[in-house]
Structure 1
Protein backbone atom coordinates (compact mmCIF):
# COMPACT_ATOMS: atom_id res chain seq x y z
CA UNK A 1 0.00 0.00 0.00
CA UNK A 2 1.32 3.42 -0.97
CA UNK A 3 2.27 5.79 1.83
CA UNK A 4 0.05 8.85 2.21
CA UNK A 5 1.54 12.33 2.66
CA UNK A 6 -0.45 15.06 4.42
CA UNK A 7 0.44 18.58 3.26
CA UNK A 8 -0.66 21.38 5.60
CA UNK A 9 -0.97 24.99 4.42
CA UNK A 10 -1.94 27.92 6.66
CA UNK A 11 -3.56 30.80 4.75
CA UNK A 12 -4.70 34.32 5.49
CA UNK A 13 -5.41 36.72 2.63
CA UNK A 14 -3.07 34.67 0.44
CA UNK A 15 -4.84 35.36 -2.85
CA UNK A 16 -1.82 36.86 -4.61
CA UNK A 17 0.33 33.75 -4.29
CA UNK A 18 -1.81 30.73 -3.35
CA UNK A 19 -2.57 29.62 -6.92
CA UNK A 20 1.08 28.89 -7.55
CA UNK A 21 1.30 26.81 -4.37
CA UNK A 22 -1.79 24.76 -5.19
CA UNK A 23 -0.85 24.40 -8.85
CA UNK A 24 2.47 22.82 -7.87
CA UNK A 25 0.51 20.25 -5.85
CA UNK A 26 -2.25 19.60 -8.39
CA UNK A 27 0.14 18.20 -11.00
CA UNK A 28 2.26 16.01 -8.72
CA UNK A 29 2.79 12.58 -10.28
CA UNK A 30 2.47 10.97 -6.85
CA UNK A 31 -1.24 11.06 -6.06
CA UNK A 32 -1.61 9.63 -2.54
CA UNK A 33 -1.59 13.14 -1.07
CA UNK A 34 -3.91 14.69 1.49
CA UNK A 35 -3.99 18.49 1.26
CA UNK A 36 -5.25 20.30 4.35
CA UNK A 37 -5.74 24.09 4.31
CA UNK A 38 -6.35 26.00 7.53
CA UNK A 39 -7.53 29.53 6.75
CA UNK A 40 -7.73 32.37 9.27
CA UNK A 41 -10.95 33.91 7.86
CA UNK A 42 -9.46 35.54 4.78
CA UNK A 43 -11.26 38.59 3.38
CA UNK A 44 -9.72 38.50 -0.11
CA UNK A 45 -10.18 35.83 -2.82
CA UNK A 46 -8.27 33.10 -0.94
CA UNK A 47 -11.36 30.95 -0.35
CA UNK A 48 -12.43 31.32 -4.01
CA UNK A 49 -9.02 30.02 -5.10
CA UNK A 50 -9.31 27.10 -2.70
CA UNK A 51 -12.68 26.22 -4.28
CA UNK A 52 -11.06 26.43 -7.72
CA UNK A 53 -8.65 23.72 -6.58
CA UNK A 54 -11.27 21.53 -4.91
CA UNK A 55 -9.97 18.59 -6.94
CA UNK A 56 -6.75 18.63 -4.92
CA UNK A 57 -7.84 20.19 -1.59
CA UNK A 58 -8.93 17.40 0.76
CA UNK A 59 -10.00 19.46 3.76
CA UNK A 60 -10.38 23.19 4.37
CA UNK A 61 -11.21 24.92 7.64
CA UNK A 62 -11.78 28.68 7.66
CA UNK A 63 -12.12 30.25 11.08
CA UNK A 64 -10.37 32.76 13.28
CA UNK A 65 -7.14 31.60 14.92
CA UNK A 66 -4.34 33.08 17.02
CA UNK A 67 -1.68 32.63 14.33
CA UNK A 68 0.19 30.18 12.18
CA UNK A 69 1.05 27.70 14.94
CA UNK A 70 -2.57 27.27 16.00
CA UNK A 71 -3.42 26.79 12.32
CA UNK A 72 -0.70 24.16 11.94
CA UNK A 73 -1.92 22.33 15.06
CA UNK A 74 -5.47 22.22 13.69
CA UNK A 75 -4.08 20.63 10.54
CA UNK A 76 -1.98 18.12 12.48
CA UNK A 77 -4.98 17.00 14.54
CA UNK A 78 -7.04 16.07 11.47
CA UNK A 79 -4.20 14.71 9.31
CA UNK A 80 -4.54 11.05 8.33
CA UNK A 81 -1.38 10.60 6.26
CA UNK A 82 1.67 8.55 7.19
CA UNK A 83 3.86 11.67 6.96
CA UNK A 84 3.19 15.37 7.43
CA UNK A 85 4.84 18.32 5.72
CA UNK A 86 4.17 22.07 5.66
CA UNK A 87 4.47 24.60 2.86
CA UNK A 88 3.80 28.33 2.88
CA UNK A 89 0.98 29.87 0.87
CA UNK A 90 3.59 31.93 -1.03
CA UNK A 91 5.91 28.96 -1.68
CA UNK A 92 5.62 25.98 -4.03
CA UNK A 93 7.16 22.62 -4.86
CA UNK A 94 10.11 22.65 -7.21
CA UNK A 95 8.68 20.28 -9.84
CA UNK A 96 5.88 17.76 -10.33
CA UNK A 97 7.96 14.73 -9.35
CA UNK A 98 8.94 15.86 -5.84
CA UNK A 99 6.81 13.34 -3.95
CA UNK A 100 7.46 10.56 -6.44
CA UNK A 101 11.19 11.07 -5.87
CA UNK A 102 11.23 11.35 -2.09
CA UNK A 103 8.71 8.63 -1.25
CA UNK A 104 11.39 6.00 -1.89
CA UNK A 105 13.41 7.53 0.97
CA UNK A 106 10.58 6.84 3.41
CA UNK A 107 11.24 3.11 3.29
CA UNK A 108 13.70 3.85 6.07
CA UNK A 109 12.62 3.42 9.70
CA UNK A 110 13.56 7.06 10.36
CA UNK A 111 10.88 9.44 11.69
CA UNK A 112 12.08 12.66 10.04
CA UNK A 113 13.57 13.49 6.64
CA UNK A 114 15.24 16.75 5.66
CA UNK A 115 15.83 18.28 2.22
CA UNK A 116 17.24 21.62 1.02
CA UNK A 117 14.99 24.30 -0.46
CA UNK A 118 15.60 27.09 -2.98
CA UNK A 119 15.03 30.64 -1.71
CA UNK A 120 13.89 33.25 -4.23
CA UNK A 121 14.08 37.01 -3.76
CA UNK A 122 10.68 38.46 -4.65
CA UNK A 123 12.11 41.69 -6.06
CA UNK A 124 15.04 40.48 -8.15
CA UNK A 125 14.07 36.88 -8.84
CA UNK A 126 17.55 35.75 -7.80
CA UNK A 127 17.73 32.42 -6.05
CA UNK A 128 20.04 30.44 -3.80
CA UNK A 129 19.92 27.04 -2.11
CA UNK A 130 19.13 27.01 1.60
CA UNK A 131 21.17 23.99 2.62
CA UNK A 132 20.12 21.47 5.25
CA UNK A 133 23.75 20.59 5.87
CA UNK A 134 23.83 21.37 9.60
CA UNK A 135 24.75 19.31 12.66
CA UNK A 136 22.91 18.71 15.92
CA UNK A 137 25.35 21.16 17.52
CA UNK A 138 24.32 23.80 14.96
CA UNK A 139 20.67 23.24 15.79
CA UNK A 140 21.36 23.51 19.53
CA UNK A 141 22.82 26.97 18.92
CA UNK A 142 19.76 28.29 17.10
CA UNK A 143 20.10 27.11 13.51
CA UNK A 144 16.94 25.78 11.88
CA UNK A 145 16.50 23.29 9.08
CA UNK A 146 14.52 24.67 6.12
CA UNK A 147 10.95 24.02 7.26
CA UNK A 148 9.32 23.31 3.85
CA UNK A 149 11.99 20.62 3.36
CA UNK A 150 11.03 18.64 6.49
CA UNK A 151 8.82 15.53 6.31
CA UNK A 152 7.82 13.95 9.63
CA UNK A 153 5.92 10.82 10.61
CA UNK A 154 2.42 11.85 11.61
CA UNK A 155 2.60 10.11 14.98
CA UNK A 156 5.65 12.22 15.85
CA UNK A 157 3.92 15.49 14.87
CA UNK A 158 0.85 14.53 16.89
CA UNK A 159 3.09 13.77 19.87
CA UNK A 160 4.91 17.11 19.92
CA UNK A 161 2.61 19.60 18.13
CA UNK A 162 3.63 23.29 18.05
CA UNK A 163 3.85 25.61 21.05
CA UNK A 164 1.12 28.19 20.38
CA UNK A 165 2.51 30.58 23.01
CA UNK A 166 5.46 31.40 20.73
CA UNK A 167 5.23 33.99 17.99
CA UNK A 168 8.10 32.85 15.77
CA UNK A 169 10.17 29.88 17.02
CA UNK A 170 7.74 27.00 17.54
CA UNK A 171 9.03 25.08 14.50
CA UNK A 172 12.51 25.37 16.02
CA UNK A 173 11.21 24.30 19.44
CA UNK A 174 9.61 21.21 17.91
CA UNK A 175 12.87 20.26 16.19
CA UNK A 176 14.94 20.83 19.32
CA UNK A 177 12.63 18.79 21.57
CA UNK A 178 12.61 15.98 19.01
CA UNK A 179 16.43 15.84 18.91
CA UNK A 180 16.85 16.09 22.69
CA UNK A 181 14.47 13.15 23.09
CA UNK A 182 16.77 11.08 20.88
CA UNK A 183 15.03 11.68 17.55
CA UNK A 184 16.99 11.02 14.36
CA UNK A 185 16.97 13.01 11.11
CA UNK A 186 17.81 11.48 7.74
CA UNK A 187 19.37 14.06 5.41
CA UNK A 188 19.11 14.19 1.60
CA UNK A 189 20.74 16.68 -0.71
CA UNK A 190 18.18 17.41 -3.45
CA UNK A 191 15.96 20.48 -3.21
CA UNK A 192 12.20 20.05 -2.94
CA UNK A 193 10.60 23.50 -2.75
CA UNK A 194 10.85 27.13 -3.81
CA UNK A 195 10.66 29.46 -0.81
CA UNK A 196 9.64 33.12 -1.13
CA UNK A 197 12.31 35.24 0.54
CA UNK A 198 10.52 38.55 0.94
CA UNK A 199 13.22 40.01 3.20
CA UNK A 200 10.96 40.29 6.24
CA UNK A 201 13.56 38.75 8.56
CA UNK A 202 16.13 41.28 7.38
CA UNK A 203 13.94 44.18 8.48
CA UNK A 204 13.02 42.93 11.93
CA UNK A 205 16.17 43.83 13.86
CA UNK A 206 15.35 45.72 17.07
CA UNK A 207 11.63 45.34 16.38
CA UNK A 208 9.21 43.77 18.84
CA UNK A 209 9.25 40.57 16.78
CA UNK A 210 13.05 40.46 16.90
CA UNK A 211 13.02 40.93 20.69
CA UNK A 212 10.33 38.24 21.01
CA UNK A 213 12.55 35.80 19.15
CA UNK A 214 15.42 36.30 21.59
CA UNK A 215 13.13 36.04 24.60
CA UNK A 216 11.48 32.88 23.25
CA UNK A 217 14.91 31.28 22.74
CA UNK A 218 15.93 32.20 26.29
CA UNK A 219 12.75 30.69 27.77
CA UNK A 220 13.08 27.56 25.63
CA UNK A 221 16.72 26.95 26.58
CA UNK A 222 15.83 27.48 30.24
CA UNK A 223 12.83 25.12 30.11
CA UNK A 224 14.91 22.43 28.41
CA UNK A 225 17.73 22.99 30.91
CA UNK A 226 20.30 23.35 28.15
CA UNK A 227 23.80 24.56 28.95
CA UNK A 228 24.14 28.36 28.92
CA UNK A 229 26.82 28.14 26.25
CA UNK A 230 24.19 27.28 23.64
CA UNK A 231 22.17 30.41 24.33
CA UNK A 232 25.28 32.59 24.23
CA UNK A 233 26.37 31.00 20.95
CA UNK A 234 22.89 31.71 19.59
CA UNK A 235 23.14 35.37 20.70
CA UNK A 236 26.59 35.67 19.15
CA UNK A 237 25.20 34.47 15.81
CA UNK A 238 22.23 36.86 16.00
CA UNK A 239 24.33 39.95 16.63
CA UNK A 240 26.96 38.98 14.06
CA UNK A 241 24.19 38.61 11.51
CA UNK A 242 22.72 41.97 12.53
CA UNK A 243 26.07 43.69 11.99
CA UNK A 244 26.43 42.15 8.52
CA UNK A 245 22.87 43.06 7.54
CA UNK A 246 23.34 46.64 8.80
CA UNK A 247 26.41 47.07 6.60
CA UNK A 248 24.58 45.55 3.62
CA UNK A 249 21.67 47.93 4.21
CA UNK A 250 23.91 51.01 4.30
CA UNK A 251 25.70 49.95 1.10
CA UNK A 252 22.39 49.31 -0.67
CA UNK A 253 21.03 52.68 0.51
CA UNK A 254 24.13 54.46 -0.81
CA UNK A 255 23.90 52.63 -4.16
CA UNK A 256 20.22 53.53 -4.54
CA UNK A 257 20.97 57.22 -3.91
CA UNK A 258 23.79 57.21 -6.47
CA UNK A 259 21.65 55.43 -9.06
CA UNK A 260 18.73 57.77 -8.45
CA UNK A 261 20.93 60.84 -8.73
CA UNK A 262 22.27 59.74 -12.10
CA UNK A 263 18.84 58.45 -13.23
CA UNK A 264 20.07 54.88 -13.64
CA UNK A 265 17.69 53.14 -11.25
CA UNK A 266 15.08 52.16 -13.90
CA UNK A 267 17.77 50.80 -16.23
CA UNK A 268 19.24 48.67 -13.43
CA UNK A 269 15.78 47.37 -12.50
CA UNK A 270 15.14 46.31 -16.08
CA UNK A 271 18.54 44.58 -16.30
CA UNK A 272 17.90 42.68 -13.06
CA UNK A 273 14.49 41.68 -14.37
CA UNK A 274 15.94 40.42 -17.66
CA UNK A 275 18.85 38.59 -16.09
CA UNK A 276 17.15 37.05 -13.07
CA UNK A 277 18.46 33.60 -12.29
CA UNK A 278 15.23 31.75 -11.50
CA UNK A 279 14.00 29.37 -14.18
CA UNK A 280 11.61 26.48 -13.70
CA UNK A 281 9.33 24.12 -15.59
CA UNK A 282 6.17 24.77 -13.58
CA UNK A 283 2.98 25.58 -15.48
CA UNK A 284 2.24 28.44 -13.09
CA UNK A 285 5.12 30.59 -11.80
CA UNK A 286 4.97 34.27 -10.88
CA UNK A 287 8.76 34.53 -10.93
CA UNK A 288 8.82 33.35 -14.56
CA UNK A 289 5.71 35.39 -15.49
CA UNK A 290 3.96 32.19 -16.50
CA UNK A 291 0.34 31.76 -15.42
CA UNK A 292 -0.89 28.35 -16.43
CA UNK A 293 -1.73 26.66 -19.68
Structure 2
Protein backbone atom coordinates (compact mmCIF):
# COMPACT_ATOMS: atom_id res chain seq x y z
CA UNK A 1 0.00 0.00 0.00
CA UNK A 2 1.29 3.47 -0.89
CA UNK A 3 2.17 5.74 2.00
CA UNK A 4 -0.24 8.63 2.55
CA UNK A 5 1.08 12.15 3.13
CA UNK A 6 -1.09 14.64 5.03
CA UNK A 7 -0.43 18.27 4.10
CA UNK A 8 -1.75 20.91 6.50
CA UNK A 9 -2.30 24.54 5.50
CA UNK A 10 -3.45 27.29 7.88
CA UNK A 11 -5.24 30.15 6.13
CA UNK A 12 -6.60 33.56 7.05
CA UNK A 13 -7.49 36.03 4.32
CA UNK A 14 -5.02 34.26 2.04
CA UNK A 15 -6.82 35.00 -1.21
CA UNK A 16 -3.88 36.74 -2.88
CA UNK A 17 -1.53 33.75 -2.62
CA UNK A 18 -3.44 30.55 -1.79
CA UNK A 19 -4.26 29.58 -5.38
CA UNK A 20 -0.57 29.13 -6.16
CA UNK A 21 -0.14 26.91 -3.09
CA UNK A 22 -3.08 24.68 -3.99
CA UNK A 23 -2.16 24.57 -7.67
CA UNK A 24 1.28 23.19 -6.80
CA UNK A 25 -0.48 20.35 -4.96
CA UNK A 26 -3.19 19.68 -7.55
CA UNK A 27 -0.65 18.77 -10.25
CA UNK A 28 1.52 16.45 -8.14
CA UNK A 29 2.26 13.13 -9.85
CA UNK A 30 1.97 11.32 -6.51
CA UNK A 31 -1.72 11.26 -5.65
CA UNK A 32 -2.01 9.64 -2.21
CA UNK A 33 -2.14 13.06 -0.53
CA UNK A 34 -4.54 14.20 2.16
CA UNK A 35 -4.87 18.00 2.06
CA UNK A 36 -6.24 19.59 5.24
CA UNK A 37 -6.99 23.32 5.38
CA UNK A 38 -7.74 25.06 8.66
CA UNK A 39 -9.13 28.53 8.01
CA UNK A 40 -9.39 31.25 10.65
CA UNK A 41 -12.75 32.53 9.40
CA UNK A 42 -11.48 34.49 6.40
CA UNK A 43 -13.48 37.45 5.13
CA UNK A 44 -11.92 37.65 1.65
CA UNK A 45 -12.13 35.12 -1.21
CA UNK A 46 -10.06 32.42 0.53
CA UNK A 47 -13.02 30.03 0.94
CA UNK A 48 -14.03 30.51 -2.70
CA UNK A 49 -10.54 29.45 -3.80
CA UNK A 50 -10.71 26.42 -1.51
CA UNK A 51 -13.99 25.42 -3.18
CA UNK A 52 -12.35 25.85 -6.57
CA UNK A 53 -9.78 23.25 -5.51
CA UNK A 54 -12.27 20.84 -3.93
CA UNK A 55 -10.80 18.05 -6.07
CA UNK A 56 -7.62 18.12 -3.97
CA UNK A 57 -8.86 19.53 -0.63
CA UNK A 58 -9.74 16.57 1.58
CA UNK A 59 -10.91 18.42 4.68
CA UNK A 60 -11.56 22.08 5.46
CA UNK A 61 -12.60 23.78 8.68
CA UNK A 62 -13.35 27.50 8.87
CA UNK A 63 -13.70 28.89 12.38
CA UNK A 64 -12.07 31.44 14.61
CA UNK A 65 -8.79 30.40 16.26
CA UNK A 66 -6.02 31.94 18.34
CA UNK A 67 -3.39 31.72 15.63
CA UNK A 68 -1.42 29.48 13.30
CA UNK A 69 -0.37 26.92 15.91
CA UNK A 70 -3.90 26.26 17.12
CA UNK A 71 -4.83 25.84 13.46
CA UNK A 72 -1.95 23.41 12.91
CA UNK A 73 -3.01 21.39 15.97
CA UNK A 74 -6.54 21.09 14.59
CA UNK A 75 -5.05 19.80 11.35
CA UNK A 76 -2.83 17.31 13.16
CA UNK A 77 -5.84 15.91 15.02
CA UNK A 78 -7.64 15.38 11.69
CA UNK A 79 -4.66 13.87 9.87
CA UNK A 80 -4.85 10.21 8.86
CA UNK A 81 -1.70 10.02 6.72
CA UNK A 82 1.52 8.19 7.53
CA UNK A 83 3.49 11.45 7.46
CA UNK A 84 2.57 15.10 7.96
CA UNK A 85 3.97 18.15 6.19
CA UNK A 86 3.10 21.84 6.60
CA UNK A 87 3.16 24.54 3.98
CA UNK A 88 2.26 28.22 4.23
CA UNK A 89 -0.65 29.70 2.32
CA UNK A 90 1.85 32.01 0.56
CA UNK A 91 4.34 29.20 -0.22
CA UNK A 92 4.23 26.35 -2.75
CA UNK A 93 5.98 23.15 -3.74
CA UNK A 94 8.93 23.48 -6.07
CA UNK A 95 7.77 21.10 -8.81
CA UNK A 96 5.13 18.48 -9.54
CA UNK A 97 7.33 15.50 -8.65
CA UNK A 98 8.11 16.54 -5.06
CA UNK A 99 6.00 13.87 -3.36
CA UNK A 100 7.05 11.20 -5.86
CA UNK A 101 10.65 11.97 -4.86
CA UNK A 102 10.29 12.23 -1.10
CA UNK A 103 8.18 9.09 -0.78
CA UNK A 104 11.27 7.13 -1.80
CA UNK A 105 13.13 8.65 1.15
CA UNK A 106 10.61 7.22 3.62
CA UNK A 107 11.51 3.59 2.91
CA UNK A 108 13.63 3.35 6.07
CA UNK A 109 10.60 4.04 8.27
CA UNK A 110 12.17 7.23 9.61
CA UNK A 111 10.37 9.54 12.05
CA UNK A 112 11.47 12.90 10.64
CA UNK A 113 13.17 14.00 7.45
CA UNK A 114 14.42 17.48 6.51
CA UNK A 115 14.87 19.10 3.10
CA UNK A 116 16.16 22.54 2.05
CA UNK A 117 13.74 25.16 0.72
CA UNK A 118 14.11 28.09 -1.65
CA UNK A 119 13.34 31.51 -0.12
CA UNK A 120 11.90 34.18 -2.39
CA UNK A 121 11.84 37.93 -1.86
CA UNK A 122 8.26 38.99 -2.62
CA UNK A 123 9.29 42.45 -3.82
CA UNK A 124 12.45 41.82 -5.87
CA UNK A 125 11.62 38.20 -6.87
CA UNK A 126 15.16 37.13 -5.97
CA UNK A 127 15.73 33.71 -4.47
CA UNK A 128 18.30 31.80 -2.44
CA UNK A 129 18.45 28.33 -0.91
CA UNK A 130 17.82 27.97 2.82
CA UNK A 131 19.93 24.89 3.53
CA UNK A 132 19.19 22.37 6.26
CA UNK A 133 22.77 21.36 7.06
CA UNK A 134 22.72 22.11 10.79
CA UNK A 135 23.31 19.74 13.69
CA UNK A 136 21.74 19.26 17.12
CA UNK A 137 24.07 21.80 18.76
CA UNK A 138 22.98 24.43 16.22
CA UNK A 139 19.32 23.71 16.97
CA UNK A 140 19.96 23.96 20.72
CA UNK A 141 21.27 27.49 20.18
CA UNK A 142 18.17 28.68 18.34
CA UNK A 143 18.63 27.70 14.72
CA UNK A 144 15.65 26.12 13.01
CA UNK A 145 15.35 23.66 10.16
CA UNK A 146 13.27 25.05 7.27
CA UNK A 147 9.76 24.15 8.38
CA UNK A 148 8.12 23.68 4.94
CA UNK A 149 10.91 21.18 4.27
CA UNK A 150 10.09 18.99 7.29
CA UNK A 151 8.04 15.81 7.01
CA UNK A 152 7.21 14.04 10.26
CA UNK A 153 5.63 10.71 11.06
CA UNK A 154 2.05 11.37 12.12
CA UNK A 155 2.34 9.55 15.46
CA UNK A 156 5.25 11.87 16.37
CA UNK A 157 3.24 14.98 15.54
CA UNK A 158 0.25 13.71 17.51
CA UNK A 159 2.52 12.98 20.48
CA UNK A 160 4.11 16.44 20.71
CA UNK A 161 1.67 18.78 18.93
CA UNK A 162 2.46 22.53 18.95
CA UNK A 163 2.46 24.89 21.91
CA UNK A 164 -0.36 27.21 20.83
CA UNK A 165 0.52 29.74 23.54
CA UNK A 166 3.41 30.84 21.31
CA UNK A 167 2.93 33.05 18.29
CA UNK A 168 6.25 32.42 16.50
CA UNK A 169 8.55 29.65 17.79
CA UNK A 170 6.32 26.63 18.39
CA UNK A 171 7.73 24.77 15.39
CA UNK A 172 11.17 25.27 16.96
CA UNK A 173 9.91 24.17 20.38
CA UNK A 174 8.45 21.01 18.85
CA UNK A 175 11.77 20.17 17.18
CA UNK A 176 13.73 20.92 20.35
CA UNK A 177 11.56 18.71 22.55
CA UNK A 178 11.76 15.92 19.99
CA UNK A 179 15.58 16.05 19.94
CA UNK A 180 15.88 16.27 23.74
CA UNK A 181 13.81 13.08 23.96
CA UNK A 182 16.33 11.33 21.71
CA UNK A 183 14.61 11.89 18.37
CA UNK A 184 16.62 11.67 15.15
CA UNK A 185 16.35 13.80 12.00
CA UNK A 186 17.41 12.45 8.61
CA UNK A 187 18.59 14.92 5.97
CA UNK A 188 18.33 15.17 2.19
CA UNK A 189 19.97 17.85 0.08
CA UNK A 190 17.42 18.74 -2.60
CA UNK A 191 14.90 21.58 -2.05
CA UNK A 192 11.18 20.79 -2.00
CA UNK A 193 9.35 24.12 -1.57
CA UNK A 194 9.37 27.81 -2.41
CA UNK A 195 9.04 29.95 0.71
CA UNK A 196 7.86 33.56 0.72
CA UNK A 197 10.02 35.55 3.14
CA UNK A 198 7.13 37.86 4.05
CA UNK A 199 5.71 35.52 6.73
CA UNK A 200 5.01 36.09 10.45
CA UNK A 201 8.55 35.32 11.58
CA UNK A 202 10.29 37.30 8.82
CA UNK A 203 10.35 40.70 10.53
CA UNK A 204 13.42 42.92 10.80
CA UNK A 205 15.42 43.15 13.98
CA UNK A 206 13.68 45.25 16.65
CA UNK A 207 10.31 44.65 15.01
CA UNK A 208 7.43 43.45 17.18
CA UNK A 209 7.74 39.92 15.77
CA UNK A 210 11.42 39.74 16.74
CA UNK A 211 10.70 41.06 20.23
CA UNK A 212 8.04 38.40 20.57
CA UNK A 213 10.46 35.74 19.32
CA UNK A 214 13.10 36.75 21.88
CA UNK A 215 10.56 36.61 24.69
CA UNK A 216 9.30 33.18 23.63
CA UNK A 217 12.84 31.80 23.36
CA UNK A 218 13.74 33.04 26.84
CA UNK A 219 10.60 31.43 28.27
CA UNK A 220 11.35 28.17 26.45
CA UNK A 221 14.93 27.94 27.68
CA UNK A 222 13.75 28.61 31.23
CA UNK A 223 10.97 26.01 31.06
CA UNK A 224 13.23 23.33 29.59
CA UNK A 225 16.04 24.20 32.02
CA UNK A 226 18.68 24.12 29.32
CA UNK A 227 22.32 24.85 30.09
CA UNK A 228 23.29 28.52 30.17
CA UNK A 229 25.71 28.08 27.25
CA UNK A 230 22.77 27.39 24.94
CA UNK A 231 21.04 30.61 25.95
CA UNK A 232 24.24 32.60 25.34
CA UNK A 233 24.75 30.77 22.06
CA UNK A 234 21.24 31.70 21.02
CA UNK A 235 21.69 35.36 21.86
CA UNK A 236 25.06 35.53 20.12
CA UNK A 237 24.40 33.45 17.02
CA UNK A 238 20.85 34.36 16.16
CA UNK A 239 20.55 37.99 17.17
CA UNK A 240 24.26 38.95 17.14
CA UNK A 241 23.90 41.48 19.93
CA UNK A 242 27.57 42.42 19.74
CA UNK A 243 27.20 43.42 16.08
CA UNK A 244 24.02 45.32 16.82
CA UNK A 245 25.84 47.84 18.98
CA UNK A 246 28.97 48.13 16.82
CA UNK A 247 29.86 51.10 14.61
CA UNK A 248 30.28 48.73 11.70
CA UNK A 249 26.71 47.50 12.05
CA UNK A 250 25.39 51.07 12.31
CA UNK A 251 27.20 52.04 9.11
CA UNK A 252 25.87 48.99 7.27
CA UNK A 253 22.35 49.76 8.46
CA UNK A 254 22.65 53.39 7.33
CA UNK A 255 23.86 52.35 3.87
CA UNK A 256 21.10 49.77 3.57
CA UNK A 257 18.43 52.35 4.46
CA UNK A 258 19.87 54.88 2.01
CA UNK A 259 19.94 52.31 -0.80
CA UNK A 260 16.35 51.38 -0.05
CA UNK A 261 15.27 55.00 0.08
CA UNK A 262 16.79 55.80 -3.31
CA UNK A 263 15.69 52.45 -4.82
CA UNK A 264 19.24 51.33 -5.66
CA UNK A 265 19.06 47.88 -4.07
CA UNK A 266 17.76 46.08 -7.14
CA UNK A 267 20.36 47.75 -9.38
CA UNK A 268 23.22 46.69 -7.11
CA UNK A 269 21.92 43.14 -6.72
CA UNK A 270 21.65 42.75 -10.48
CA UNK A 271 25.07 44.32 -11.12
CA UNK A 272 26.88 42.06 -8.66
CA UNK A 273 24.54 39.08 -9.19
CA UNK A 274 24.20 38.61 -5.41
CA UNK A 275 20.99 36.59 -5.74
CA UNK A 276 19.47 34.88 -8.73
CA UNK A 277 16.13 35.91 -10.13
CA UNK A 278 13.33 33.43 -9.50
CA UNK A 279 12.43 31.19 -12.41
CA UNK A 280 10.34 28.03 -12.33
CA UNK A 281 8.21 25.71 -14.46
CA UNK A 282 5.02 25.80 -12.37
CA UNK A 283 1.77 26.38 -14.27
CA UNK A 284 0.74 29.01 -11.73
CA UNK A 285 3.42 31.32 -10.29
CA UNK A 286 2.86 34.88 -9.13
CA UNK A 287 6.62 35.52 -9.04
CA UNK A 288 6.99 34.59 -12.72
CA UNK A 289 3.69 36.28 -13.63
CA UNK A 290 2.11 33.03 -14.83
CA UNK A 291 -1.48 32.37 -13.81
CA UNK A 292 -2.36 28.88 -14.98
CA UNK A 293 -3.93 27.50 -18.08
How high is the TM-score relative to the length of structure 2?
0.91
Residue number in structure 2 paired with 1:252: 256
Change (3 A) 1:223 1:281: same
Residue 17 (structure 2) pairs with residue 17 (structure 1): yes
3-state DSSP of counterpart to 2:277 = coil
The structural deviation recorded for 1:200 is: 6.3
Distance 2:277 2:55 in 1: 33
Return structure 1 stretches of 4+ with deviation > 6 angstroms.
none
* Cα drift, residue 218 of structure 1: 1.5
Alpha-carbon contact 2:201-2:209 (below 8 Å) kept: no
Equivalent residue number for residue 210 of structure 1: 210
Q: CA–CA distance in 2 between the matches of 1:202 and 1:61?
A: 27
* Matched pairs, number: 285
CA distance in 1, matches of 2:21, 2:202: 24
Change (3 A) 1:96 1:246: farther
Mapping for residues 61-210 of structure 1, pairs under 5 Å: 61-198=61-198, 201=201, 203-210=203-210
**Aligned Cα RMSD in Å?**
2.2
Gaps in structure 1 of 5+ consecutive residues: none
Give the Å deviation of 1:248.
Answer: 4.7
Whether the aligned pair in 2 keeps the contact of 1:202 and 1:245 (CA below 8 Å) is no
* Cα distance in 2 for residues equivalent to 1:276 and 1:133: 21
Q: Secondary structure of 1:177's match? A: helix
Structure 1 length normalisation: TM-score?
Answer: 0.91
Q: What is the CA-CA distance between 1:246 and the residue it aligns to?
A: 6.0
Greater displacement, 207-216 / 283-292: 207-216
In structure 2, stretches of 5+ residues that fail to align are: none
State how far apart, in whole Å, the 2-side matches of 1:237 and 1:247 are.
20
Secondary structure in structure 2 of the residue aligned to 1:167: coil
- Contact map agreement 2:3 2:81 (CA 8 A) in 1: yes
Provide the secondary structure at the position in 2 that maps to 1:174.
helix
Query: Mean alpha-carbon deviation: is it higher for 213-222 or for 50-59?
Result: 213-222
Say if 2:34 and 2:57, in contact at 8 Å, map to a contact too.
yes
Q: For 2:102, what is the secondary structure of its paired residue?
A: helix
Query: How far 1:215 sits from its partner (Å)?
Result: 1.9
